[in-house]
Structure 1
Amino acid sequence: MPAWETLKKHQNELIRKQLEGSVFIAPLTSAAISALTGADKALLALPAGYNDLGWMSDDGAQFSSDVSTSDVTSWGAVEPTRRDITSDVTTLELALQETNKHTIGLYTGVDMTAVVPDPTSGEVAVSKPDRPPLRFWRVLTIGVDLGDAGEIYVARFLPRASVSDKAGQSFNNGDDPTSWPVTLTGYLDSALGYSERYYFGGPGWEALLTEMGF
């Protein structure tokens, strides 16, 4: 029998954190993300139309999965004899801290392409729609970690996502800035054939491929 120290394989260099990151949105007319890095392992430029939503709270990008199942129970069995997944929905919760054209548009549901500042005063007026249309976006979240060989990128791409909820907004002079808290839900993009895709890359990632079992 091997000793425990021989049997176990714990590798602390494979523990990941996202030290910083950004969330980018683009209209559905923009190209989907097909690759995150190039042959030199550096990040590729994003397709036209992708915009960084900017600073967000230190909670970062909060992903959640809501999985529903249907169980079959059988005579004499004390546990389900069959289980089918009937729903697996990904949501992304963001507390956006920057006030800009994109964060205002996400929170209010307004098409900001038609909103222009007053030519004299620079004032911007946005009217909440009586029945906001369900608008869809391409959403790319990139997290950055550091390994011994350089940066490690972990990204999640939602090719078709919409704002499904938003939290309250506070006007005050406390420690927290005025934010634009929204929750985005990912849906299947029928042309691409998926509702979410993960990407992993960077020089630090490539250096650890063998250790990770690839």
Structure 2
Amino acid sequence: MPAWETLKNHQTQLIRKALEGSTFIAPISAPSIASLTGPDSALLALPTGYVDGGLMSDDGAQFSSEVDSSDITSFGHVQPTRRDITSDVTTLQVSFQETSKLTTALYTGVDPDTILADATSGEVVIPKPDRANPRYYRVLTIGVDLADAGEIYIARYLPRASVTDKDDQNFQSSDDEAFGYPVTLTGYLDSGAGYAEAYFFGGPGWKALLADMGFDGS
């Protein structure tokens, strides 16, 4: 039997962490994203329409998945003999800290193109719609890590998402909590893209570790 030290293959250089990141929001009419980096592994410019939501709370961007299934059981078997996935829904929770046209539109549910500042006073008034009209966006969250060979980008992309929930907004003077815009976005199938969610991994630091991670090419 091989010794444990020979058998194991623990690689600390493959542990990733999002040291910082941003969530970009675009109208559903904006181009979909096909790739995050170019031939030199550097980040590509995002298509027109993608706007950085800005600073987020220190919880960052929290992705959750809710998977439902249907089981078939059979006589004489103590485990299901067939399982079908009936639902697989991804949600993104993020609390934006910056006040902008984008963040106020997401939180209030109004069309950002209708939010205008008074030409004289600069005041902005946003009436809450009596009946909410679901608005769909393209949502890209990029997390950035560092490795010996450079930056590593890990992203999750929802080509068709809408705000399905929002948390409380606090008016208070607490030293450790900013006035924020906490929203939950749910991803849906985008017929043009052909999927409801995509993962992107790239960057010079990522490329240098391809062989260590077991991917073909380096």
Q: Matched residue of 1:123: which SS? A: coil
- 1:135 equivalent to 2:135? Answer yes
Residues 84-121 of structure 1, C-alpha deviation per residue, up to 9 Å, x if partnerless?
Answer: 10000000000111111000000000112022111111
Residues 134-170 of structure 1, C-alpha deviation per residue, up to 9 Å, x if partnerless?
Answer: 1000000000000010000000110000001000110
Letter in 2 for 1:121: S
Find the counterpart in structure 2 of residue 65 from structure 1: 65
Task: Tell me, in whole angstroms, the C-alpha distance in 2 between the residues paired with 1:209 and 1:169.
Answer: 43
Normalised TM-score (structure 1): 0.99
Q: Matched residue of 1:211: which SS? A: helix
Task: Tell me, in whole angstroms, the C-alpha distance in 2 between the residues paired with 1:117 and 1:96.
Answer: 21
Q: State the Cα distance separating 1:40 from its structure 2 match.
A: 1.2
Q: Matched residue of 1:104: which SS? A: helix
Task: Tell me, in whole angstroms, the C-alpha distance in 2 between the residues paired with 1:112 and 1:208.
Answer: 41
Find the counterpart in structure 2 of residue 14 from structure 1: 14
Q: State the Cα distance separating 1:58 from its structure 2 match.
A: 0.5
Greater Cα shift, 111-120 or 126-135: 111-120
Letter in 2 for 1:165: D
Q: Which aligned segments of 4 or more residues in structure 1 are displaced greater than 3 angstroms?
A: none
Identity %: 67
Residues 9-63 of structure 1, C-alpha deviation per residue, up to 9 Å, x if partnerless?
Answer: 0000000000000000001111011110011111000000000000010100000
The aligned length equals: 214
Residues 176-210 of structure 1, C-alpha deviation per residue, up to 9 Å, x if partnerless?
Answer: 01111000000000111100000000000000000
Normalised TM-score (structure 2): 0.97
- 1:196 equivalent to 2:209? Answer no
- Unmatched segments (≥5 aa) in structure 1: none
Task: Tell me, in whole angstroms, the C-alpha distance in 1 between the residues paired with 2:48 and 2:154.
Answer: 21
Find the counterpart in structure 1 of residue 182 from structure 2: 181
Q: State the Cα distance separating 1:77 from its structure 2 match.
A: 1.1
Counterpart mapping for 1:67-146 below 5 A? 67-146=67-146
Q: Matched residue of 1:113: which SS? A: helix
- Unmatched segments (≥5 aa) in structure 2: none
Letter in 1 for 2:84: D
Letter in 2 for 1:206: K
Q: State the Cα distance separating 1:72 from its structure 2 match.
A: 0.4
What RMSD over aligned residues (CA atoms) do the two structures have, in Å? 0.6
Q: State the Cα distance separating 1:79 from its structure 2 match.
A: 1.1
